[in-house]
Structure formats: C-alpha cells, structure tokens
Chains A and B, each alone.
Chain A
Amino acid sequence: MSGEHKGGFLSTYVFSKDHKYIAKQFLWFGLIWLLIGGVMAMMIRWQLANPGEAFPLLGKLFFPRTGGVIDPDAYNMLFSMHGTIMIFLGLTPALIGAWGNWCIPLMIGAPDMIFPLLNTLSFWTVVIGGAVGAYSLFVPLGALEAGWTGYPTLSTTVGTPGSGETLWAIAVFIIGASSIMGGINYITTVVRLRAPGMTWGKLPLTIWGLFFTAVLNVLFLPVIGSAMLLLIFDRVYGTQFYVPATLTSGGGDPILYQHLFWIFGHPEVYILILPAWGIVSDLLSFFARKPAFGYRATVGAMLAVTVLSAVVYGHHMFTTGLSPMLGESFMLLTMIISVPGEILFFNWLHTIWKGSLRLNSAMLFSLGVIFVFGLGGLTGLFLATIATDIFLHDTYFVVGHFHLTMAASALFGAFAGIYFWVPKMYGRLMDERLGKLHFWCTIIPLTTVFCTMFVSGWSGMPRRYADPTSSPYVAELQYLNEITTIAAFILGAAQLIFAFNFIKSCFWGKKAPDNPWEVGTLDWIPAYPVPHGNFATTPTVVTGPHEFSHPALGPDRDWISQTEALPETEGKTA
C-alpha cells in the first residue's frame, strides 16, 4: 500500500481513509477476535465434557485462582463473552466491515467510500468498543455473566454487581455506533457512487446483500443502543426501567428489555447472514461459470427477508408469557420467512445445475453455506412452531440452530470471501491444497458438533449449565457432550490450518494474476496493488455481473467484463 498515499505514517497505516486499507484493518481485527472467541468456545466445550477438571495447557494462566478449573462464574463469563465477541467483534468486522469496505467501492466502480473519514471513524470506534469489552474481562467481579442476551433482572445490579456488566453494555453501545456509521456509509455509497451504467439490476449480488445489511444496521442498531442505554442507567444511576416494583420502589419491567433486545436481535441474525448470502450468490455463479439463476428473485427474496426480519422477533419469547394471539401471529410471520429462504436455495441450486463447476476453496465454502444454512434453516421450523418450541426453548437445540445459521453460515461466507478476494487484496494466491484441507476439516466436525447439539436439546439438555452432570436428567446425556467436545476440538484445531495458510499466502504466497478467477465484476479490473482512488479511468458498465458461458462469446472464453459489451448487443448499448 505504501507509495499510493500522500501523507505521513499515521494517515497511511493507522488512520487511513482508503477503503481498501480499512477493509484489511477490519479483517485482521475480526480474525483476531474470532481467535479469542474460538479459544473461549474450546474452554466452554472442555468444561461441558470434563466438568470441574482443570483446562489443559492454558488453564492455569487464565484461571489462576482455581488452579485452571473453570468455576461456574468463569463458565458463565465465558459463554456470555464468547457470544458477544463472536457476534460484535468477530463476525461483524470480518464479514461486514472487511467485505463491505473492500467490495462496495470496487464492485460498483467508485474511487472510495462516499464518506472516507466516517469510514476511518467507524473502524476506530469498533476498536474502542473492543478495548472496553476486553478491559471488562479484567475488572473485579469479572465480566458479563448474564449471557450475550443480558436479560434483566440478572443483568441489573439485582443479579450482577460489579462493573463488568456495565462495561459490556457500554461496549455494545459503542460497537453499535460503529455499525451505524458503516451502514450510513454503505447505503449512501451504493446509492450515489455507482459507475455510469451500473444500474441496480447490474449490481453484483454481494452488493445487494451488503446493502440490505446496511439498511438493517441503520434501522435496528439504534434499538439495541437504547436498550443498552436504559440498562446502563439502571446499573449506574439507579433508574428502574427493567426492575419491577416487587424488587424495588420502582415499576419497571424486565420483559421490556426482551422486546427491545429482540427487535434488534432478530434482524441481527440477518445482518450477519445477508452479506454471506450475497457473496455466495455471486461465487456460485462465478465458479459454476453460469449466470446467477433468477437474479431478480434472489434480490427480491433478500428484500423480503430484510422486511420480514423486523416483524418476527417475538419467536424468541414464546415462553415469557406473551399473549397467545401475539404468539401465534409471530409463529405465522416467522414461518413466512421460509418462502424467501426457499427461493434463495432454489436459485442457488439452479445456478450450479448444469454448470461447469470449479471446486476451489472459495466455491467449496460457498457450497458449504448451502449445506450448513440448509441444516440451520430447516431446524428453525422446530423453533418457529410454538408447540415444539415450548420444549426446545433454551435447550441445546437452539444452540445448534443459531450456530448453524448465523455463526457457521456467516463464517463460511467470510472464509469464501477471504479465499476469493485475497489475490486482489494482497496480490497473492491462497494455497488451494491447504484451503481444501481446511474446508473438509471444518465442515465434518462442525456438522458433528451442531447436529449432536440437536440431539442433546431434543433430549432435554438446557443451555448455559456450568456442570451438566449436576442434574440426573441431564447427566444421562453426558456422552453427547463428550462427542460434541471432541468434534469441537478438532474443529478448533482445523482453524490453525487456515491461520497458517492465510498468513503464509498473504505475505509469501504465489503472485496472483490480475484476474485469477476469470470473472467480469469491476473489482478485478485494477492491477495489484490497487491504487488510492481505485480506477485510473472511471469504468462504464454495459453488462451484467454474471454473463458466463454466453453463446456469443465463442468456444474459447466463457466470461466477459462488466465494461465490455456482449458481441451481439454491440452498438445497441448507450
């Protein structure tokens, strides 16, 4: 990157306003937090399979007071922070921050984001949020222990004294502000800075996914912000928004928080998954060498999901004492989401049907999204249906379901993005053999982990038990916990293959050609290193992003750049 910038060290390497550098910052920031959250997951799994036994190797370092044993307080802290870190500090930056920044200007043919300073601010705000969250791990009485959902009254001073929980709420508030800044920037950039000819119908589907995510970010992050602000007031200033009259002189309501949290919380699932859907929709077409099947239907389905995501949140609250009429309405609305969901799957499967599939790492992870999101999406029906959700609510069935949908699918989308765009980002190819090894060593244990969780949950194992052998009913399921833990450790170890491949390839990998995947989107036009400002001359778009294997292209070539006119339409385009 050096040389392109005019400016000092700080404005080049720290507070850069170049979207490409910020994308890299987001990516590395997210990956580091994914590693931290992943180590926490290993500790959680260790405790569940071996309750009361010291965590090997690192245990004495992290839990010196107990000689490496994870006590219930530490356990509650681990799964609470694991959730918060993975969602807000891991996946959000690595998926939305990194690919939003990288793809939007490059794929729409813009010189940069429309508000470069806001972009810099968005990244450094999430860093501050992360620092507050990290600091909360070291305060007296420990960090957040009320789950990543932070339900009052457990999350008020009634249940959790100490500053850890307050710092968590502040961190989420700050990170939310960062996402709002990013969202405003993404929306405005897509609306205002598309290259000439880049009509809405010619946008790559990646951009559509990121665009809808940005809309949801701008609409719903303020809701979690206000929920957190009220919680901070309750904790710090003694207000009683969430504390009922039976506990104090006030007259608050803990259920109010649940409404606020899930009005944000359900769209958050789609905030994480929509960019992955967009990336996958493009990559399946790119590597099947076939146009994306039903482009408009895919965009329409993503739009429908975006709208519906705002009106289904009640399905998180079926056991809270919700009015039956409200509950049944939420059940119906939730089930309606399966229609756009089905259209997406239908279009993806038709995109690869009769294609010419290049099964490289990026493609494998895209196909992996179909598999894991299929598993996760279909199991959602059990939880949307109140009569089955009553039993399954707050069991491991839910844990398996949301990890497959929002965690595994989003992570696979991020991995696909990394394998796909690193050649332009770092000018070097990822090691394909290691990439394929990484894929198989990820998807097999991952499926084992979360499908075993379905069995545990169906068998009645509640979530968030520090010692599952304590209750006889749950202790009978301990063998399932052991299978899950073994698979989880293999899954964790497999990510070291990725870490090695990523670092090795970024800095010492084989030099990449300008357009290694032979695709037509604008992001592959500038040569590495892409200069500040991206395009020497503003590209003019005349063709859609997925015109693969067009008959007019002849036998030797199966792709065409978005700036090139298709032979048969030559002369007709404006």
Chain B
Amino acid sequence: MTLSHSHSVRSFLGPVRAVIATVIAAASLAPGALAQDATRWGPKESASSFGWRFDDLFMLIVILTGVSFLIMMVMLLVPVFRDKARAGHKASFDHGRSLHDKRFTAIVSVIVFIVLDAWVLVVAMRDLDEGFWNVPGPGEAPNAVRVQVLAQQWAWNFRQPGVDNKFGTPDDILTLNELVVPASAEAEGNEDWFAGRPVVLNLSSKDVIHSLFLPEMRVKRDANPGAINRMWFTPIRPGDYAILCAELCGFAHYQMHGKLRVLSPADFDAWEAEASAMALAAYDENDAGAQWAWDWQE
C-alpha cells in the first residue's frame, strides 16, 4: 500500500520557506490525512480469543492516567494563573512538614498506589494467567495447532507437522513469511481458555534476535538464537492479518513482514492435507536448509 501524501513536506528549498511550509502543512495536513481511507487510528480490531484483554486494559489505564494527569494540570495551572507575582501579593509561608501535611501525603500515596497500580496489577495478572502467558502445557490443548518458527535475517520460516502430526518428518509443511492457521469461532468469549484450536508456537532464530509481532492477535515474543521461546493465541475470525518483526535485526528489519492467513476450520483441514502431500512429494533429504526442526517444547 502506498500513500501519496508523503510528498507534502518535500519542497524544502530554504530554511525560511521550510518553516513557513511546515506551519501551513501542519495546519492543513492533519485533518486531511485523518479523513483518508487508507489511514487508521489505533490498532486494527482484535482477532484473537484474548486480544480484548489488551484493548480493555489499555483503555482502563488511559482513563486512570488521564484523570491523574488532569488533576495534576489543574494543580499546575491554577497557581500559574492565580498566584502570579504582583505588587502587594505575598507567597504563603509553608514548609509542608506539619503532621497534617505528612498524613495528607501518605494518604494520597496510598490512594495512588491502590487506584493506579494495584488495580491495574490485579487485572494484568489475571490477563497474563488466563491469556498471554497461559501457554498450554502438556496435554492441556490436544487440538492445538503447533508451529515451529525459525526467524532469520530477514524472513520468517514456519514449520507445521503435517498430517502425521510429527515434527522433523518429510511431510512437514514449510512456509516462508506466511503462516496458515484455522479460525476457532467458539473460542471467542469462551471460559475454556483452550477451546477450539489454539495456535501454539515454538520460536527460535538462526542468527540475531527477532521478535514475532502479530498486532491483530495482540501478541509479541522474541525469537532468540540458541533458545526456544513459546507463545500462543487462538484466532477467532478468518482473514489475512499482519506479521511484523519488532526487534531490530539489521538492514532489512523493516521488510521482515509476512502474512498470517486464518482459514475456516474446513478450509484449513483441506489446505493442511494438500500442503502436507505436496511437501511429502517434493521432499529432498539433501536439502540441508530445510532440516531445521527441533523436539517440540511444551
């Protein structure tokens, strides 16, 4: 996708003109750009079973910190306008070290800790334990779609076990920069965290540190060389979603993006059978670059 208005701040001919041009552009560009179709405000709609947890918690913190900031700004601006130095006006003399002041400070600190921190902490712990960091353990999600991810400069290698459900066999499905998984509509709002077919990933890297970022699934995890990291999500709607690299990995870091294709369960089964059969037919044991599977980590 290209956007044409990236040329609008191009014509810098001299410093004076530049300043004038930028002021005019700033005034004219912002509303125009917001009105365009190919623009977006905020992340794209969540498409995973626990993506709402990020959206809800983000908004909760926006409200809590927003109110705190407003209170601070009122306390800043009132004296700035009311208590300006002028003839006949004298500042009050107050060291703020009376018992009353100390108590007041302590009470405000406790309130801030409870409202801003403890509240958010409790919600975040729940979200981690039920969602983000609740990677299915052995036997917890027998239907899980398992994927091994090997990042490299500058591409994503995905390996799925194929119809035999074993990694490191000739029918493993290998894809580059494109991950195909099934949607599990029943996982949306389900109290069984692993309802449907959760996607569980093992991540590693061939060279430098990369980070698999799936914005619509609201998940991100580093792919470290020499180690295997785990992550999971359950897609709830078919569609094409973004795969991005979030950790600086060299020259083409910005180009290390791919596509997450979420298919309906039936379409996925058909795709898996066909892709697995094709992989088996095209298998070449001398192709050293394709032999990178590891023992599944649960």
Contact = CB atoms under 8 A, between A and B. Distances in A.
Interface stretch (B16-24, B141-149, B179-187, B266-274): B16-24
A462 B211 CA distance: 11
Nearest to A290: B91
Interface stretch (B31-39, B156-164, B167-175, B191-199): B31-39
B22 to A, nearest CB: 5
B43 A458 contact: yes
Contacts of B7: 50, 53
Contacts of A292: 95-96
Given A352-B80, A470-B255, A479-B34, A146 B248 contact: yes
Contact of B209 (A151, A252, A463, A472): A151
Interface string A381-396: 1100111101101110
Contacts of A73: 251
B167 to A, nearest CB: 17
B283 interface: no
B113 interface: yes
A321 interface: yes
A52 to B, nearest CB: 9
Given A355-B83, A473-B44, A486-B22, A343 B254 contact: no
25 contacts: A57-B15, A145-B250, A147-B248, A153-B208, A154-B209, A246-B225, A254-B226, A288-B83, A294-B95, A297-B96, A331-B121, A336-B113, A353-B83, A355-B91, A367-B80, A381-B117, A382-B58, A387-B131, A394-B220, A469-B6, A470-B254, A478-B5, A479-B39, A493-B15, A555-B90
B286 interface: no
Interface of A: 49-51, 53, 56-57, 72-73, 76, 145-147, 151, 153-154, 158-160, 244-247, 252-255, 288-297, 319-321, 324, 327-328, 331-332, 335-336, 338-339, 342-343, 345-347, 349-359, 367, 370-371, 374-375, 378-379, 381-382, 385-388, 390-391, 393-395, 455, 458-460, 462-479, 482-483, 485-487, 489-490, 493, 546, 548-551, 555, 558
Nearest to B88: A555
Interface string B114-135: 0011001101110110011100
Contacts of B254: 72, 464-468, 470-471
* Residue from the set B13, B33, B120, B245 with the largest chain A CB neighbour count within 10 Å: B120
Interface in B251-293: 251-255, 257
Contact of B85 (A289, A386, A464): A289
Contact of B248 (A76, A353, A455, A467): A76
Given A291-B95, A346-B108, A459-B42, A357 B132 contact: no
* Residue from the set B117, B125, B131, B245 with the largest chain A CB neighbour count within 10 Å: B117
B90 A374 contact: no
B83 A462 contact: no
Contact of A381 (B120, B220, B242): B120
Contacts of A338: 112-113, 116-117
B76 A352 contact: yes
Given A246-B225, A356-B91, A387-B128, A378 B1 contact: no
A473 B54 contact: no
Nearest to A328: B125
Given A72-B252, A297-B96, 19 more contacts: A50-B7, A53-B10, A151-B247, A159-B207, A246-B226, A319-B220, A321-B224, A321-B229, A343-B105, A345-B72, A356-B91, A381-B64, A391-B43, A394-B211, A394-B213, A467-B255, A478-B3, A478-B5, A486-B26
A479 B33 contact: yes
Contacts of B95: 291-295, 546
A339 B109 contact: yes
B41 A459 contact: yes
Interface in B71-107: 72-73, 75-76, 78-80, 83-86, 89-97, 101-102, 105
